[in-house]
Structure 1
């Protein structure tokens, strides 16, 4: 269990600490402006919480950790510039944006410099070896794991036998959720995907898609909705308004209660998360982090996307200690040895082929009468194969 020895002075947007000559420096090339800021700032705040804890316990390799930061402005070209800026300021490791597309330009700069990079919460397999290089990792759980978790959990716990796949084709993350569901659900006893359809996140109406669902001989047991806010909220509202009562499944991107005013009284909506922000996670370490985050930022995490920032610093620091070095290749070798490495949010593993989580314990959050709560936890029975992730 991690001890949360957090300085109460840390706050969102706080200035970087003064850097001493012998400090280890982490460079944050992240969005502090633009729409990605909503994802990057919480995860970066969590990362800085773990940095403060490590410093309070004597530091890393006997040295304190400092950090520098450059704003990518949610712009790909600026991401590359931000990466170069933090390198110029002495970064020994780089933390980059949650999204692969916006984080990769900075991560590629880190790769060229031979240092490790971690995406804050990217869930696309390309955010790692496949899209950046051998020293790049992600702190989150692949989107495909989320879809596979929903498939297996709903089959086992809610007796789902028929499923309908509704894919928002706007971003790769959504496709990853459906990839996992499409892989897992047909493997389960007595199951059938009875239809599939697509839409775009900014579509004002999905009336034609709803018509096709209602034309089925029987209502599907589950609808695998692979989308994010605001499009996901709009789709859910329209599905329920049409009188469709199927259990609706989604990925972690819709975690949080901030959007529920758009779907009053919603029930039968389920998502998998790495940890619960609602105070009901069965692991006391998670709630201890939520409390520490509130002390640091003034509010509790708004979604589970804060958690990967804490996890990535924790894992990287352990690898550095074991390597006895900040050298990117040496640290990578230690990270790739991690198999079921304990963290406050569950076990994590890496390999020479995959720098992501293709299996993880997920907490299952269900919304009933407009209120989200943990109802279960689930780990898929087998990891999502790499070839499936690359399809």
Structure 2
């Protein structure tokens, strides 16, 4: 309930229902603060010389009627990019992608987007959603946070009603925040930080990628399974992604009774000579490399060149084969991945997707990120359909927040209003031997993974 006093002392009382409705309408559609409406009402009251009552209490039924009349009267001033009932039913469904086509994030975003486009093409070929085609518009983030924000704002101005963001929290979150500010559903095509969600961005932010801490915990589980009880952690401090993977390893290693040592580096470092010296004298039985390309590939090359043949365990940031020229015939290297893209995944649907991807693009996916991109499409399109064709952010969140063990191509996915990232999905273990990657197992983590959402 909102109470407002006019100049003559009359008290005007607006019902809570009306206040909330007008707040939502004006802030998301007209982009005018809802109190402007209140001031208009009170000014109108005074202009008409209505001073005969000391208190005006607007009934809810009347409030609804007034709201409807005012919305109709204000229709000509509506932001053309805002969601309206007519836009939600007519014309294409416009999805914007604020992703990298230049800079270091290109090797991560491009496979994701290629996977998403296959999912989109399948929906469009089948007639779209309620007869409406999906239209994709895209802007380059230049692999920077500032570029991501600018790209998102441009896409929203161009009419995007749903936004895809880059596959990293540090780079992609400014785009997500720009979308969230407009109440627009924003889905990261690969950010693994739990901060990409309700806590770090807002209720319309989701990611399809498994959590960073889950990646790290899975690698610790692998070390325990293999009997590598004294792993050495190489922690790349350049992004939240890599530091969180190492923290997930650290947490679960302690739970499993592993004895760890560690050192750190930055992705741009040209040499890790001091870290190599420390590893050689550590008595380590394996190396957990929490990093991503290109710096991660540089680190692997230097480790092998120094004669260190220990097993190297890494996450999705080092998945794929596109970087293996840096380390020809690499062996004893493992990644925890979303799926195997090498035709040997235990899920036949993944292998069928790889075939379709290869036919559509002329080559197989560079990384398993393509699977995640496809699943981003799966969950978005399903939510739109279940929401009756609506692209309203809150309506889509209502659908996504009910997903429980949803069998997406990327794996079982559960969301809640508080958690918008897969936190317990078993990951595929890929082993590289003589430069050839192959699926070995799908490895669940014992116990519960700490996502550090309170930190």
With the shorter chain as reference, the TM-score category is 0.7 to 0.9
* TM-score normalised by structure 2 residue count: 0.76
- Is the CA contact (8 Å cut-off) linking 1:125 and 1:390 kept in structure 2? no
For residue 258 of structure 2, the aligned residue among 191, 199, 217 is 191
How far apart in 1 are the matches of 2:189 and 2:427? Answer: 18
For 1:224-239, list aligned pairs within 5 A.
Answer: 224-239=288-303
For residue 410 of structure 2, what is the aligned residue in structure 1? 345
For residue 279 of structure 2, the aligned residue among 203, 213, 234 is 213
How far apart in 2 are the matches of 1:89 and 1:230? Answer: 34
> Of the two, which has the highest radius of gyration?
2
How far apart in 2 are the matches of 1:265 and 1:166? Answer: 22
For residue 163 of structure 2, what is the aligned residue in structure 1? 94
Q: CA deviation at 1:352?
A: 1.7
Poorly superposed stretches of 4+, deviation over 4 Å = none
For residue 252 of structure 1, the aligned residue among 310, 316, 319 is 316
- Is the CA contact (8 Å cut-off) linking 2:169 and 2:240 kept in structure 1? no
How far apart in 1 are the matches of 2:408 and 2:295? Answer: 33
For residue 137 of structure 1, what is the aligned residue in structure 2? 206
For residue 28 of structure 1, what is the aligned residue in structure 2? 97
For residue 14 of structure 1, what is the aligned residue in structure 2? none
Q: How many residues are matched?
A: 366
Matched, 1:52 2:118: no
How far apart in 1 are the matches of 2:295 and 2:147? Answer: 27
Counterpart secondary structure, 1:342:
strand
- Is the CA contact (8 Å cut-off) linking 2:199 and 2:453 kept in structure 1? no
For residue 150 of structure 1, what is the aligned residue in structure 2? 219
Q: CA deviation at 1:64?
A: 2.1
Matched, 1:359 2:428: no
How far apart in 2 are the matches of 1:269 and 1:390? Answer: 33
| Cα 1:67/1:231, change in 2 over 3 Å | closer
Matched, 1:321 2:376: no
How far apart in 1 are the matches of 2:448 and 2:387? Answer: 28
For residue 304 of structure 2, what is the aligned residue in structure 1? 240
Post-superposition Cα deviations, 1:174-197, rounded to whole Å, max 9, x if no partner, equal: 101101101111111x4221x111
Q: CA deviation at 1:77?
A: 2.8
- Is the CA contact (8 Å cut-off) linking 2:205 and 2:420 kept in structure 1? yes
Q: CA deviation at 1:136?
A: 0.7
Unaligned runs of 5+ in 1: 1-19
| Cα 1:76/1:245, change in 2 over 3 Å | closer
- Is the CA contact (8 Å cut-off) linking 2:170 and 2:239 kept in structure 1? no
For 1:165-184, list aligned pairs within 5 A.
Answer: 165-184=233-252
Counterpart secondary structure, 2:132:
coil
* TM-score normalised by structure 1 residue count: 0.88
For residue 25 of structure 2, what is the aligned residue in structure 1? none
How far apart in 1 are the matches of 2:383 and 2:162? Answer: 12
Give the structure, 1 or 2, with the largest relative contact order (CA under 8 Å, sep 6 or more): 1
Kindly report the root-mean-square deviation, in angstroms, between the aligned alpha carbons of the 2 structures: 1.9
Matched, 1:163 2:231: yes
- Further displaced range: 52-61 or 354-363: 52-61
Unaligned runs of 5+ in 2: 1-88
Counterpart secondary structure, 1:59:
coil
Q: CA deviation at 1:375?
A: 1.2
For residue 352 of structure 2, what is the aligned residue in structure 1? 288
- Is the CA contact (8 Å cut-off) linking 2:90 and 2:132 kept in structure 1? no
